[in-house]
Amino acid sequence: MSVTMDVITARETSHMATLDRTAAPGEREAAFARLAETQLDAAYHLATFILVGDRAEAEDAVHDAALRAWQHLGEVRDPARFEAWFTRIVVNVCRDRIAGRRTRPVTLADPDPGAAPDHAEAFVRADAIEQAMRSLSADQRIVIGLRFVEDRSLEEIVVRTGERPGTVKSRLHYALRALRAALEADAREVVP
C-alpha cells in the first residue's frame, strides 16, 4: 500500500503526529516503522529502476535509505511530507551507489530455451533498453524513474530531488534524448 500525501488517512495523520520528539518511548519508533512500511514497495520499485534492474542492489539501497531515514528522523520538518522526504533519501542513496561503483555489473539473461522465436525480439528489446539506461548518468536515471515509474509531476520531482525546476527539465530532456538515440542506434545495428 502506497500512501500519497494528497490523501492522508486519519491513521497516517496520527502516525505522523507521534514522530514528534516529545512522543512517549516506543511511540516514535512504531510511528516511523508504520510510515516507512507504507513507502517500501514504491521505494524498491524506484530503486530497481534507477539501478537498472539490479534487484539485490535495490533491496540494499532501500534498506540503507530506511536506516538513513531513521538516523535523521529528527530532521523531518513537516511530518506530513514524510513520503517526499523518504523518496529523496532513496534517490540520494541510489545516486551514491551508482557513483561508488567501480565496475558496472553485466547481466546476461539467457532466453528460455523453450521460448518461441517471437520472444527473442522482446529479449533483444529489453536488453537494448537496459543498455540505454546504463548509458545515462545517475541524475538522468533518477528523473526518468521519478517521472515515468512513479508518475511524478515536475514539481514533485523538484521536491524529491532538491534540484531547481530548470535543472529537472533539462535532465529529463537530455535523458529522453539520450535514450531515444541509444535505442535508434541499437535498432540500426539489428537491421541488416
Would you say the pTM of this structure is higher than 0.85? no
Is 128 a residue whose pLDDT tops 80? no
Q: Quick one: average pLDDT of 89-102?
A: 84
Give the model's pLDDT for residue 170: 95
Q: Quick one: average pLDDT of 47-56?
A: 87
Is 168 a residue whose pLDDT tops 90? yes
Give the model's pLDDT for residue 183: 80
Q: Quick one: average pLDDT of 162-166?
A: 93
> Which domains are assigned to the chain?
1-106 (1.10.1740), 108-192 (1.10.10.10)
Q: Quick one: average pLDDT of 3-21?
A: 46
Give the model's pLDDT for residue 167: 95
Q: What secondary structure, in 3-state letters, does the chain show?
A: CCCCCCCCCHHHHHHHHCCCCCCCCCHHHHHHHHHHHHHHHHHHHHHHHHCCCCHHHHHHHHHHHHHHHHHCHHHCCCHHHHHHHHHHHHHHHHHHHHHHCCCCCCCCCCCCCCCCHHHHHHHHHHHHHHHHHHCCCHHHHHHHHHHHHCCCCHHHHHHHHCCCHHHHHHHHHHHHHHHHHHHHHHHHHHCC
